[in-house]
Structure 1
Amino acid sequence: MRMSRPVSLFLLLFGVWSWVIWVTFARNLWASEDSWAADGSPTAFFVVHAVLTVVSLVLGTIIGVLGWRGLRALRRTPTSQESPTE
């Protein structure tokens, strides 16, 4: 299956955007007073949101890689005006 350039670009940009958003969220989560109990241990709030962050980063990476591969595949395929060499 081949993706169009706009779809590939959208997926790549979505992956980059996901990293920007979730890394910022992780920094804010780490600095939040709600993330840590009085004894310094992580709270349930922290654990749930840390898992959410990790899953979102993994999915964003996968989506971004799919977009990158789609763009690379478009560069390797001949355009409709070019005839493939035999």
Structure 2
Amino acid sequence: MSKPVSWFLVLFGVWSWFIWPNFLRNIWSDPRSFDGGPQPFFLVHLVLVVVSLAFGTAIAVIGIRGLRGSGRRTR
């Protein structure tokens, strides 16, 4: 994997960790999220955030491995 692609994947993972927690904070403060307990509106968005963070982390790990592996190539 090339270095530019690896960096793109790492930056995508960092971006995911920047965006999705902020999104969850906004959903948490939405009045539709809780009414005597978590509502389906909140639960659906919570699953979206968790899955997105998991994918973002996995993509960043692939990018980091790509960066680490790119230095080991012989010409």
Q: TM-score, normalised by structure 2?
A: 0.93
User: Which residue of the partner structure matches residue 21 of structure 1?
Assistant: 19
Q: Does 1:47 align with 2:53?
A: no
Partners of 1:31 and 1:76 in 2: how far apart? 48
Q: Which 4+ residue blocks in structure 1 deviate beyond 3 angstroms? A: none
Name the residue aligned to 2:31: 33
Which sections of structure 2, spanning at least 5 residues, go unmatched?
Answer: none
Letter in 2 for 1:69: R
CA distance in 1, matches of 2:71, 2:21: 31
Instruction: Find the structure with the greater CA-based Rg.
Output: 1
State the distance in 2 between where 1:57 and 1:50 align.
11
Compare relative contact order (CA 8 Å, sep 6+) and give the higher one, 1 or 2: 2
Q: Matched residues in 2 for 1:13 and 1:63: separation? A: 9
> Aligned residues: percent identity?
56
